[in-house]
Amino acid sequence: MTMTVVTKRWPRGTGQWTRTRILIVSADPTVRDQLRSTWATDHEVITASAPLDVIRRLEADGPTISTVVLADIVGSVIRAELAEFLAEAYPFLRVIVTTPRSDADRAQPTEGAYT
């Protein structure tokens, strides 16, 4: 019988064996990039542009996604309805609904605008 020694290492210095991710949802690529840069300092971030992309991602990656941040959604889905559906269908998720800042708001520096 041969024994194999497997050494586990901490990924990316997080102190966790598996790192959960934040899923940013926005139809606007500029807003997605802004939210990604805001959240990426402390989290691994993935993005989606449509509600069906969110559901596909959650089905594929499951509980490795801890939080969904809903910004602007295009189409027949209302953010509040999508948030309610996600909370019911995926009870392990934290769902955050946010509104992207307008151009006038962007002119004013705001600390933690999207958190």
By residue range, what is the domain housing residue 24?
A: 19-100
Give the pLDDT of residue 98: 85
Q: Average the pLDDT over each of 45-49, 61-65, 72-76, 104-108 and give the range with the smallest value.
A: 104-108
Give the pLDDT of residue 42: 77
Q: What is the CATH number of the domain that holds 85?
A: 3.40.50.2300
Higher pLDDT, 8 or 76: 76
Give the pLDDT of residue 47: 92
Tell me if 11 is assigned to some domain. no
**C-alpha dist (Å) from residue 58 to 26, 88, 110:** 16, 13, 31
Number of structural domains in the chain: 1
